[in-house]
Structure 1
């Protein structure tokens, strides 16, 4: 547990290059936030930079940043929940998200959308959409929206970057706002209770968000965003059993077999060698390795080509 009056300790040597999971606790209302980092010292340095928080709030509207700015550091406690190895960071973060159910975390899935970034133009377009909606929506539509929300039948849209939430009176209005066909959203909501695409999470208000974020379909969708070219998503044992029973007796078509054969080709494996402990981590691709280090694919590629260490690791192609 760390004192915020000693923020230099949080940023200092004891957390330098340390990998782990941390938690912010609001001492006023008890609300919490769970996060993780491949370098806790660097991460805490950002938290203790007021200008950084103010910039991020204007851009992303983060709940935890907003609360720190609103209440001040003295009204928060920062805890180190666990130090761990980089290759199990996601797994350990997910454990604490499931166990502690922190209120400041909206989507409650480890490393959710960390690799996903909108372009500046896309962010500006989204801002304009929200502003135009608030400015030009008619009183009749607002009235219908309130009635629909009271009935528990509205369609909720969450921006996965800014975490802004918008309620719509119908799936048609939500689809129009996002810029997709209503049939696309309806198809996914019927199948999985949610639609994830174009930088938005869409679901019906009568479905609990926790129910969605704990589902296998949601976890797989998030995993695909974080690992577009990495290793495949692994289902839980219960999900595997359900899939096995559903496919019992079924045979693969020639076309499906051909697709599976084509997709089995993998990229060169990447080894990350810890310069201090000499521990070796193996990843299926440069992209997967860069995700684990919390850096861009191009950054890791430059380190690889220049034969320079990156975040305390030597990078080698297997």
Structure 2
């Protein structure tokens, strides 16, 4: 019975085991083992001594690659290719979790990492290249990776090797590893440890949690310098914010700050912390403030029908021999002051 190459590859996808290749005439054979038994993209690796949990050094692989030439005419296999893997620091890390197929295991990845912080690693099955990252909420971060729309938006603004690779190869060509779960406070520190150890090829920045090594283009810098929004854009932004935080949508709707919170807010603006510390308003700004605060008051004498208009509540209070707070009170409740004066704002 003749066994074809395609059949061998298809029947042994993602299987771990021991294999034996023989030549029928003199029964010569070469044996070996593999973690990923046979890959669709690779030829068979007939190499004695390649055992489970053992990885050859790069120097050993170089010698084997050029010294071994095994020929079996019945199988038509000549000059075998080796697995495309990164052997440098591959075996130094034992992941907490491994998801062999990022496509078919999508829901499992999202559900098992809800509200967990830690370090993760994307690994390209075909090229062996990796990316190391960290997140305070892994599930939320993975949602971004699984959103093609989000990826495209990010790539329009900046470069990302891992996101470009995901679009190019597809999720099925990546496996995802959780290197460790850790406290969110030390996530960046642990990410830096793995970047230094594994030297991932997809990581553009070599320092975790920063833009060190990333340089804005001249065009980007020109856009950021002296950029001003048009009045239409500002009006639209204002309208959007009002819609998002109006009425019940406002985060403080139906709530009141506690006395402790108010005291903290007041303390945060005392002395040098105040934005107006050692500053003075210009005459123009003072005039604008006066216009917004000074509301005219109309006073109607219901007995005589006489109407007087005062430029401010203070001026009205002096004329009626009362306090400014009394003027505010009677303009709000609509009652008659001293039984004869009707007050209203104009």
Q: In which range does the TM-score fall when normalised by the shorter chain?
A: 0.3 to 0.5
The structure whose RCO (Cα within 8 Å, separation 6+) is larger is 1
TM-score, normalization by structure 2? 0.34
Q: Which has the higher helix share?
A: 1
Larger radius of gyration: 2
